[in-house]
Amino acid sequence: MYYIVETSKSFNQAAIDLESAVKNHGFGVLHVHDLGATLRSKGIAFSEECKVFEVCNPVQAAKVLSTDMRLNMALPCRISVFTEQGKTKIGLIKPVQMLSALSQDAALIEVAKEVEEKTMQMIDEAQEISVS
């Protein structure tokens, strides 16, 4: 159900590289939630880092919404960069499995497959070490 990779990059570098990968694949970043900072700002002792990127491809989103408006609650896609016990990870909940739980529409499952392929490519691209 999850697709999570570990990277040797720092948390901040992985977040920067994910944002670039999202744009390289024709998606946009709608918002970034810095959950670690939010929790700490509320006085909670939270040592890990976690940024959740809400990403969207407008063409794919329109296909989903025009087929079943209720699925707006499953949009946009979310990709997280986070730390866990000193390791930086990037991951998501796979769109096909999530959407399959919400709809049996074959056309929607095809959209989810396309989105899943792209979002996993984004994660893989952000994971890789850049050679410049």
Q: What percent of the chain has pLDDT over 70?
A: 98
- How much is the pLDDT for 20? 96
132 occurs within a structural domain: no
Asked if residue 22 is part of any domain, the answer here is yes
Number of domains in the chain: 1
Please check whether residue 73 lies inside any domain of the structure.
yes
Query: What pLDDT score was predicted for residue 6?
Result: 97
Answering whether pTM is above 0.85, one says yes
Q: What pLDDT was estimated at residue 41?
A: 97
Note the pLDDT of residue 131.
47
Amino acid in position 76: P
| Site of tokens 């796979």 | 94
Mean pLDDT (whole number) for 5-17 = 97
Helix axes 11-24, 106-127, angle to 10 degrees: 130
**pLDDT tens readout for residues 40-75:** 999 999 999 999 999 999 999 999 999 999 999 999
d(CA 36, CA 66): 35
Task: Give the sheet arrangement for strand 2-7, strand by strand.
Answer: 2-7, 87-93, 77-84, 50-56, 28-34
The CATH number for 74's domain is 3.30.310.70
Contact indicator for 76, 61 with CB cutoff of 8 Å = yes
87-93 and 50-56 as β-strands: parallel, antiparallel, unpaired?
unpaired
The 3-state DSSP class for residue 25 equals: coil
Please report which helix (H) or strand (E) contains residue 5, including its range: strand 2-7
| Residue 73 near residue 66, CB atoms below 8 Å | no
pLDDT in tens, 108-130: 999 999 999 999 999 999 999 76
pLDDT at residue 130 in the model = 63
32 assigned to some structural domain: yes
